[in-house]
C-alpha cells in the first residue's frame, strides 16, 4: 500500500522550488506490480500546430473546471483570432488548461471534437498506451492530493487566476502506476458509478431550471426562443448591435429576450445601477470587510458561502466593490454559464470586495425592483445561454461585457408580485435541496473511493 509518511528528511539538493518533491510524499511500499514513474516518461506532448488562415473558420474548444470535460467555446474566423497558430485536437489525448489547472481543468479529448482547435494555453499529450491509459492519467490529476500539488507548483503573479501550470512541471510530476489491466478496472468502476449518479443529477438540475421558469411563466412572463436565422439572411443596418455574421445570425434582441404583455418592459440600466463604485467609505485600513472570491459563490444555491474576512487596506484597490443588497453576477466563462450569481447579504461593515470577474447590479429603488428578482432572472438558464452570444475575449478568458446588461430589457411586475415570484422559487429550491445533498454525498464517496484505488490505499477488486 502507498502511505504518506508524517516525517521525512528533504536534502537541499532535492529542492527545485519551495515545495516538497512529490516522490517524497509516498513511501516505497507500493502494491505488487506497481511502479512510481514520471509523467514525462509515459506521455509525449503534441507539438503540431496549424498556421491561422484569415478566412478559415476555427471551432475553438476549452476545458471546464473541476474535471467537467471539454466544451466548444466558439467558432471564429482566422481574422478574429489573436494567435498566429492553433493546435488541432487529437482524440483520446490528455489535455489541460495551463491557467486553471489549479481548478481541476483537466480532460481527455473525446472523438466528437475531431476537427476542433485549442490555443497554446491548452497543452495536449499522447499517452504510451502500453503503460498508462488517458483516463487513468485524468483520474490521477483529479485526485485531491494531486490538485493541491498542482496549486503549489503553479506559478504566476500575485493574482491566483494568473497562475500557470507549466508543461515542464506537469511532466515532472510522479505518479503511482499499476499495470494496465488494473487501470482498466479502476476506470470501469469510475464510469459505472458516474453513470449511476448522472441521471439523478440531471433530474435535479432540470427541476431547478423548471422552478424558476414556471414561477415567471405563471405570472405571464415568456422567455423567447433562442432561434438562429438560416445560412442566407438579411438584417437591416439599424438592427445590428455588433459587427459579425455569427452574432447577427440570431433571431432575437436584448429588448425582446423576455416578453410580457401584462407588465411594462424596462431597460435594466433604467431601474438599476450597473457596476457602481460608490459605497460607504471606511476610515481605517484595519477595518474588516467581507471578501468574496469566485469560489465563494455557489453555482448550485446562488448564494455567497464562506466569504473571507480581510482588512480594508488589503482589498480596497484592485477588486470589485459592492454592498449589502447588490447582486453580483459572474461575467467570465464557465462561471457565468454555471450560474454563479448571488445577492450580497450580511457583509462585514456592510461592504464587500471580490473577484474582478463579477458584474455588480444595484437596484435604484427597492420599492420598485427587488435584488432577488434581478437574481432570479440572471440565473435563468435561458438568459445564461443568451449571454454567450455577447462574449468577448479569447483563449478561455471570454467574458460577458456590460453592454449585455445595459441592453437587457426586463418585465417589471408590481413589487408584491416580485416578492411572490421569489418566494415560489425559494420554496421550490428548498424542497429539492435534500435530494441534491444526497447526490453530492454519494459523489464525494465515489471520488474518495477512486482516489484510494489510484493511490493504492484500497485494494482493486
For the segment 378-422, what is each residue's pLDDT rounded down to a tens digit? 999 899 999 988 888 764 578 999 999 999 999 999 999 999 999
Residue 9 has pLDDT above 60, yes or no: no
Helix (H, G, I), strand (E, B) or coil at 124: strand
Looking at residue 402, what is its pLDDT? 96
Cell of 117: 482547435
Q: Which conformational region is residue 367 in: left (phi greater than 0), alpha (psi within -120 to 50 degrees), or beta?
A: alpha
Q: Are 194 and 446 in contact (CB under 8 A)?
A: yes
Confidence of residue 153 (pLDDT cuts 50, 70, 90): confident
> Superfamily for 12-177?
DNA methylase specificity domains (3.90.220.20)
- Rg (the chain; Cα; Å): 24
H or E stretch covering 351: strand 351-354
Confidence of residue 439 (pLDDT cuts 50, 70, 90): confident
In this predicted model, which residue has the larger pLDDT, 292 or 245?
292
CATH node for 222-259+264-412: 3.90.220.20
Closest CA to 353 of 307, 295, 391, 397: 307
Whole-Å CA distances, 24 to 169, 177, 325, 445, 448? 16, 16, 49, 27, 22
pTM score: 0.62
* CB neighbours of residue 420 within 10 Å: 15
Looking at residue 7, what is its pLDDT? 47
Summarize pLDDT for 294-332 with one digit per residue, the tens: 989 998 889 999 899 999 999 999 999 999 999 999 999
* CB neighbours of residue 457 within 10 Å: 13
Q: What percent of the chain shows pLDDT beyond 90?
A: 53
Q: What percent of the chain shows pLDDT beyond 70?
A: 86
Looking at residue 241, what is its pLDDT? 61
Q: Which long-range contacts (CB under 8 A, 24 or more apart) does 19-23 make?
A: 19/149, 19/152, 19/153, 22/149, 22/173, 22/174, 23/174
Can you state the angle between helices 415-454 and 134-141, rounded to 10 degrees? 120
Helix (H, G, I), strand (E, B) or coil at 359: strand
Residue 47 has pLDDT above 80, yes or no: yes
Residue 69 has pLDDT above 50, yes or no: yes
Looking at residue 143, what is its pLDDT? 92
Looking at residue 4, what is its pLDDT? 44
H or E stretch covering 135: helix 134-141
What's the rounded mean pLDDT across residues 57-67? 90
Cell of 450: 477512486
What's the rounded mean pLDDT across residues 222-247? 65
Looking at residue 172, what is its pLDDT? 93
The maximal CA–CA distance of the chain, rounded, in angstroms, is 74
What's the rounded mean pLDDT across residues 430-441? 82
Sign of CA dihedral 346, 348, 350, 355: negative
Helix (H, G, I), strand (E, B) or coil at 44: strand
Looking at residue 248, what is its pLDDT? 67
Summarize pLDDT for 242-290 with one digit per residue, the tens: 656 666 666 678 888 999 999 999 999 999 999 998 887 788 999 999 9
Looking at residue 15, what is its pLDDT? 47
Q: Which conformational region is residue 395 in: left (phi greater than 0), alpha (psi within -120 to 50 degrees), or beta?
A: left
Residue 441 has pLDDT above 80, yes or no: yes
Looking at residue 289, what is its pLDDT? 94
Contacts of 198 (CB under 8 A, 6+ apart): none
What's the rounded mean pLDDT across residues 117-137? 95
Q: Are 201 and 67 in contact (CB under 8 A)?
A: no
Q: Are 299 and 336 in contact (CB under 8 A)?
A: no
Site of grid cell 454567450? 388
Looking at residue 136, what is its pLDDT? 96
Spatial separation of the C-alpha atoms in residues 135 and 147, rounded to whole Å: 16
Spatial separation of the C-alpha atoms in residues 150 and 145, rounded to whole Å: 9
Spatial separation of the C-alpha atoms in residues 404 and 204, rounded to whole Å: 29
Confidence of residue 167 (pLDDT cuts 50, 70, 90): very high
Confidence of residue 179 (pLDDT cuts 50, 70, 90): very high
Summarize pLDDT for 74-115 with one digit per residue, the tens: 788 888 888 889 999 999 999 999 988 998 999 999 999 999
Closest CA to 176 of 43, 17, 33, 44: 33
Cell of 172: 515532472
Q: Which of 343-352, 366-375, 436-445 has the lowest mean pLDDT?
A: 436-445
Share the mean pLDDT of the chain.
Answer: 85
Half-sphere exposure of 140 (CA within 13 A, CB side): 22
Residue 373 has pLDDT above 50, yes or no: yes
Spatial separation of the C-alpha atoms in residues 331 and 335, rounded to whole Å: 7
Helix (H, G, I), strand (E, B) or coil at 46: coil
Amino acid at each position: 500500500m502507498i502511505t504518506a509518511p508524517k516525517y521525512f528528511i528533504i536534502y537541499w539538493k532535492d529542492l527545485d522550488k519551495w515545495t516538497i518533491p512529490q516522490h517524497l510524499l509516498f513511501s516505497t511500499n507500493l502494491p505488487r506490480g506497481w511502479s512510481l514513474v514520471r509523467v514525462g516518461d509515459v506521455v509525449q506532448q503534441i507539438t503540431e500546430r496549424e498556421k491561422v488562415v484569415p478566412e478559415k473558420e476555427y471551432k475553438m474548444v476549452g476545458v471546464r473546471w473541476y474535471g467537467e470535460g471539454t466544451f466548444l467555446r466558439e467558432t471564429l474566423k482566422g481574422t478574429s483570432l489573436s494567435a498566429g497558430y492553433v493546435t488541432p485536437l487529437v482524440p483520446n489525448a490528455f489535455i489541460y488548461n495551463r491557467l486553471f489547472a489549479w481548478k481541476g481543468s483537466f480532460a481527455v479529448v473525446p472523438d466528437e471534437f475531431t476537427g476542433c482547435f485549442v490555443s497554446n494555453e491548452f497543452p495536449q499529450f499522447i499517452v504510451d498506451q502500453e503503460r498508462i491509459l488517458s483516463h487513468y492519467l485524468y483520474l490521477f490529476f483529479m485526485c485531491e492530493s494531486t490538485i493541491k500539488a498542482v496549486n503549489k507548483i503553479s506559478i504566476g503573479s500575485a493574482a491566483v487566476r494568473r497562475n500557470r501550470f507549466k508543461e515542464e512541471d506537469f511532466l515532472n510530476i510522479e505518479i503511482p502506476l499499476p499495470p494496465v489491466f488494473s487501470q482498466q478496472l479502476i476506470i470501469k468502476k469510475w464510469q459505472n458509478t458516474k453513470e449511476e449518479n448522472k441521471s439523478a443529477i440531471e433530474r435535479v438540475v432540470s427541476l431547478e431550471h423548471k422552478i424558476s421558469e414556471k414561477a415567471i411563466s405563471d405570472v405571464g412572463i415568456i422567455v423567447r426562443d433562442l432561434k438562429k436565422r438560416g445560412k442566407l439572411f438579411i438584417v437591416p443596418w439599424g438592427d445590428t448591435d455588433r459587427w459579425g455574421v455569427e452574432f447577427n445570425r440570431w433571431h432575437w434582441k436584448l429588448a425582446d429576450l423576455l416578453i410580457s404583455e401584462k407588465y411594462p418592459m424596462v431597460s435594466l440600466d433604467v431601474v438599476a445601477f450597473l457596476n457602481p463604485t460608490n459605497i460607504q467609505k471606511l476610515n481605517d485600513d484595519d477595518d474588516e470587510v467581507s471578501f468574496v472570491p469566485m469560489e465563494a459563490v455557489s453555482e448550485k444555491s446562488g448564494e455567497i458561502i464562506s466569504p473571507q474576512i480581510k482588512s480594508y487596506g488589503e482589498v480596497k484597490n484592485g477588486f470589485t466593490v459592492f454592498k449589502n443588497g447588490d447582486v453580483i453576477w459572474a461575467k467570465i466563462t464557465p462561471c457565468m454559464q454555471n450560474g454563479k450569481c448571488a445577492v450580497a447579504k450580511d457583509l462585514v461593515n456592510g461592504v464587500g470586495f471580490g473577484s474582478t470577474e463579477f458584474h455588480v447590479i444595484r437596484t435604484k429603488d427597492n420599492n420598485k425592483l427587488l435584488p432577488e428578482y434581478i437574481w432570479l432572472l440572471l440565473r435563468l438558464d435561458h438568459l445564461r445561454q443568451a449571454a454567450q452570444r455577447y462574449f468577448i475575449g479569447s483563449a478561455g478568458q471570454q467574458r460577458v461585457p456590460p453592454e449585455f446588461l445595459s441592453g437587457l430589457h426586463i418585465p417589471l411586475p408590481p413589487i408584491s408580485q416580485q416578492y411572490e415570484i421569489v418566494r415560489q422559487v425559494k420554496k421550490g429550491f428548498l424542497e429539492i435541496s435534500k435530494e441534491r445533498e444526497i447526490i453530492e454525498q454519494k459523489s464525494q464517496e465515489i471520488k474518495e473511493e477512486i482516489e484510494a484505488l489510484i493511490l493504492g490505499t484500497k485494494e482493486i477488486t
